């Protein structure tokens, strides 16, 4: 899945400039814009426990998470010469999840990002109809965690703020329309759950990071 999406994104990147007649569209990137995006995220949940009484840990592990994302974005660009700076926000529904069977001693844990968003700065350089940019800022995710020990079950949900950084390419392909391909890495920080049913007296810690490739389309006002 990840390889196919990356190949499709690169193909889009190569094809989009060819659709644009050089000089046919306004050269300025300055202004407000809105758009939509879809993508694929993958990453890891690094987990470990700690005793509420001593703080000691008796295990640590990690497992993969992955799945699709999709949502909307909006922002503002300002261009001076070939340089573009701006700010952008996005919000997405997500199904980026995974589980760790036999975690440990025959138990099981699951983690799922079901929604996420960001507030970022962007900055880049324009060549013809194409903007090459870097982006970074605040990342937020709503994460659901589940712990199982036989019939016992603990379930939690939490919204965590972290950070994200990435890079992308955006091309004008029609008047007021652009298409983009973007990669971002996000670290959502640590989620700590007191598992009162499955492992009373202990706290479980999940450190979730995510890579994501997104393709999108935007309309500039």
User: Above 60 in pLDDT, residue 17?
Assistant: no
Residue located via tokens 């390419």: 169
pTM: 0.87
Sign of CA dihedral 24, 25, 26, 28: negative
Query: For 19-23, what is the mean pLDDT?
Result: 49
What residues have CB less than 8 Å from 201, skipping those under 6 apart?
Answer: 51, 52, 53
> How many Å apart are CA 89 and CA 76, to the nearest integer?
10
> Quick check: 88 and 71 in contact, CB under 8 A?
no
> How many Å apart are CA 191 and CA 33, to the nearest integer?
34
Select the more confidently predicted residue: 52 or 85: 85
Q: What is the tens place of the pLDDT at every residue in 162-210? A: 999 999 999 999 989 999 999 999 999 999 999 888 888 889 999 999 9
> Quick check: 66 and 40 in contact, CB under 8 A?
yes
Select the more confidently predicted residue: 27 or 86: 86
Helix (H, G, I), strand (E, B) or coil at 195: coil
Q: What is the tens place of the pLDDT at every residue in 39-75? A: 999 999 999 889 988 888 888 889 999 999 999 999 9
Least confident of 34-43, 72-81, 145-154: 145-154
19 band by pLDDT with thresholds 50, 70 and 90: very low
> How many Å apart are CA 133 and CA 210, to the nearest integer?
20
- 2-220 in CATH: which number? 2.40.160.20
Q: What is the tens place of the pLDDT at every residue in 93-146? A: 999 999 988 766 667 899 999 999 999 999 999 999 999 999 999 999 999 999
> Quick check: 29 and 79 in contact, CB under 8 A?
yes
Residue 119 neighbours by CB distance under 10 Å: 16
- The pLDDT value given to residue 105: 65
Q: What is the tens place of the pLDDT at every residue in 207-220? A: 999 999 999 999 99
User: Above 90 in pLDDT, residue 13?
Assistant: no
Q: What is the tens place of the pLDDT at every residue in 100-115? A: 887 666 678 999 999 9
Residue 218 neighbours by CB distance under 10 Å: 21
Per-residue DSSP letters for 102-160? Answer: T-STT-EEEEEEEEEEEEEEEEEEEETTEEEEEEEEEEEEEEEEEEEETTEEEEEEEEE
Helix (H, G, I), strand (E, B) or coil at 55: coil
Select the more confidently predicted residue: 118 or 10: 118
């Amino acid at each position: 899945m990840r390889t196919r999406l990356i190949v499709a994104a690169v193909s889009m990147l190569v094809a989009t400039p060819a659709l644009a007649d050089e000089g046919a569209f306004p050269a300025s990137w300055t202004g407000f814009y809105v758009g939509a995006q879809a993508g694929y995220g993958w990453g890891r949940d690094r987990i470990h426990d700690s005793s509420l009484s001593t703080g000691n840990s008796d295990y640590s592990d990690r497992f993969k998470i992955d799945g699709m994302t999709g949502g909307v974005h909006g922002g503002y660009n300002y261009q001076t010469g070939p340089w573009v700076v701006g700010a952008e926000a996005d919000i997405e529904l997500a199904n980026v999840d995974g589980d760790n069977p036999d975690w440990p001693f025959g138990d099981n844990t699951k983690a799922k990002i079901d929604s996420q968003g960001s507030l970022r700065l962007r900055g880049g350089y324009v060549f013809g109809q194409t903007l090459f940019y870097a982006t970074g800022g605040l990342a937020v995710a709503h994460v659901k965690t589940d712990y199982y020990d036989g019939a016992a079950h603990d379930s939690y949900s939490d919204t965590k703020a972290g950070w994200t950084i990435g890079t992308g390419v955006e091309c004008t392909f029609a008047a007021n329309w652009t298409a983009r391909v973007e990669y971002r890495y996000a670290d959502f920080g640590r989620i700590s759950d007191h598992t009162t049913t499955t492992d009373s007296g202990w706290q479980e810690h999940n450190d979730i990071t995510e890579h994501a490739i997104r393709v999108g389309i935007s309309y500039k006002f």
